[in-house]
Amino acid sequence: MAQVTITNIVKRYGTAQVVHGVNVDIADGEFVILVGPSGCGKSTLLRMIAGLEAISGGEISIGDRVVNDILPKDRDIAMVFQNYALYPHKNVADNMGFSLKIRGRPKAEIDAKVKKAAEILDLSKLLDRFPKQLSGGQRQRVAMGRAIVRDPQVFLFDEPLSNLDAKLRVAMRVEIKELHLRLGTTIVYVTHDQIEAMTMADKIVVMRDGKVEQIGAPLDLYDNPGNVFVAGFIGSPAMNFIKGKIESKEGRQIFVSDTGSVLPVEGGKAQDGQPVIYGIRPEHIDIAPDGLPAIVSVLEPTGSETQIFARLGEDAIDAVVKDRLTIHPGGEVRLRIDKRRVHIFDRQSGARV
C-alpha cells in the first residue's frame, strides 16, 4: 500500500495543454475518485499515474518514490480499464494469472494467488469457464481479479463500470467498495458518474478543463460546494440555479430574481445589491400550504418519490418530494424552500458567497 502525491502536474499534447497544474494528495489506503465532464483530463491524469502517458511538468510519487521516470511495469500499480478485454481463449483462472505467468512467477504461487483473488471476488466456482460463458458482471470481476493477483500498491480504475447495465453497476459499486474495505489498498478511480463518486469515494476530486475545482469528502462537496460548477455537478437531480440579486426589505435580506420572483435567504451572506446565483437542491424544497405558489409543468413519479418540474413566476424550478401528487400540468403547487439549505454564489466568479 502507498500514498500517491500529485504535484503541479501538467500535460501537453504538442502545443495544446490539457492538464494545468493539478495537485492531489492521496493517503495510503484512501479511495479517491476523479470526476468531471468528458474531456476534462481524468483519464490523462490516471494514465500519467500509471506511466502510460509522459508527464509534461510536475511530479508524481507513489509511496516515497518519484515515479516520473519509472516504467509502468515497475510502478507497482494495477489498472482496470473500461474496455477490460479478457483473453477469449483462456479460462478465468488463466486470465487472472496471466500477468504473473509472463513475469515468470512459479506455478504454485500463481495458483495460490488466483485462488485467493477468486475467493475475494466470489469467482471460485467459475475458474474453468471461458469469458463468453460469463455474465457482464462476472467478466468485470475477472478483470478486477487480474488486478488483485498482482497485489499492487495502488489500483487505478478508469470507468470500469460504464459498460454494464444500470442494475449491475449498482451491484458492482457495492462489490468494489467491499473489496476496498477488505484489501485496504489505495484506489484512484475515474468516472463521470457523480453517483458512483458519491457512493464509493473517501474523497472526490472534481475536475473541469484540466483543473481541479474542488477536493473533499462526498457529503462535504454536497453540503459545501465551493462554486457553481461543483454545486451543479454533485447531486442528482441537479441543484436549481436562479440568477438575481440580494436586496433588503423591512430590515431583512431577500433574493429577487432577474424576472422578479422573491425567494427566501438567510441574511448576512451577501451584500445588498450584489448580483448572485441562488442555488437550492430539489430535495430541499417541499410542499406546504405557506409555500410559494408555482405552476406545475411536468410531474415525474418514480414510485418512491415525485419529481416536480415547475415555474415560479418566470423561473424554472425542480423539486423532489415523497408525496404522490395528482396535480395536472398547469395546476398550482405551493413550494416551500428550506432557506437554511440555500447556496448563494457570486454571479461574476461563480464562487460560493
Of Mg ion, ligand ATP, none, which one sits near residue 281, judging by CB under 5 to 8 A according to partner kind?
none
Binding-site size, ligand ATP (CB under 6 A): 11
When the beta carbons of 40 and 80 are compared against ligand ATP, the nearer one is 40
Is residue 13 part of the contact set for ligand ATP (CB under 6 A)? Answer: yes
Is residue 153 part of the contact set for Mg ion (CB under 5 A)? Answer: no
Q: What are phi and psi of 43, to 5 degrees?
A: -65, -40
Asked if 49 and 42 count as a contact pair (C-beta separation under 8 A), the reply is: no
Is residue 208 part of the contact set for ligand ATP (CB under 6 A)? Answer: no
Is residue 87 part of the contact set for ligand ATP (CB under 6 A)? Answer: no
- Cell 431577500 locates to 254
Minimum gap (Å) between residue 139 Cβ and ligand ATP:
21
- Length of the chain in terms of residues written: 353
What is the residue type of 114? V
Q: Which three cell numbers stand for residue 325?
A: 401528487
Bridge partners, 318 (sequence order): 309
Torsion over CA: 11, 17, 23, 24 (sign): negative
When the beta carbons of 40 and 161 are compared against ligand ATP, the nearer one is 40
Is residue 253 part of the contact set for Mg ion (CB under 5 A)? Answer: no
List the interface residues with ligand ATP, window 30-49 (CB under 6 A): 36, 38-44
Sheet holding 16-26, edge to edge: 16-26, 4-13, 57-62, 65-66
Asked if 45 and 6 count as a contact pair (C-beta separation under 8 A), the reply is: yes
Q: Which three cell numbers stand for residue 64?
A: 516515497
Minimum gap (Å) between residue 18 Cβ and ligand ATP:
4
Of Mg ion, ligand ATP, none, which one sits near residue 38, judging by CB under 5 to 8 A according to partner kind?
ligand ATP
Query: Per-residue contact track with Mg ion, 1 to 40, x per CB under 5 A?
Result: ----------------------------------------
Sequence-distant contacts of 132-137: CB under 8 A, at least 24 apart: 132/88, 134/92, 135/168, 136/163, 136/164, 136/165, 136/168, 137/164, 137/168, 137/171, 137/172
Distances (CA, A) of 218 to 4, 40, 202: 20, 19, 7
Is residue 15 part of the contact set for ligand ATP (CB under 6 A)? Answer: no
Minimum gap (Å) between residue 33 Cβ and ligand ATP:
13
Query: Per-residue contact track with Mg ion, 35 to 54, x per CB under 5 A?
Result: --------x-----------
When the beta carbons of 114 and 206 are compared against ligand ATP, the nearer one is 206
How many Cβ atoms from other residues are within 10 Å of residue 317's Cβ?
Answer: 23
Helices (H), 103-165: 107-120, 136-148
Of Mg ion, ligand ATP, none, which one sits near residue 279, judging by CB under 5 to 8 A according to partner kind?
none
From its phi and psi, is residue 107 left (phi > 0), alpha (psi between -120 and 50) or beta? alpha
When the beta carbons of 191 and 261 are compared against ligand ATP, the nearer one is 191
Given candidates 139, 146, 192, 352, which one binds ligand ATP under the rule CB under 6 A?
192
Return d(Cα 110, Cα 99) in angstroms, integer: 9
Minimum gap (Å) between residue 120 Cβ and ligand ATP:
28
Is residue 194 part of the contact set for ligand ATP (CB under 6 A)? Answer: no
Minimum gap (Å) between residue 42 Cβ and Mg ion:
5
Return d(Cα 9, Cα 26) in angstroms, integer: 14
Minimum gap (Å) between residue 43 Cβ and ligand ATP:
3
Interface residue list for ligand ATP (CB under 6 A):
13, 18, 36, 38-44, 192
Interface residue list for Mg ion (CB under 5 A):
43
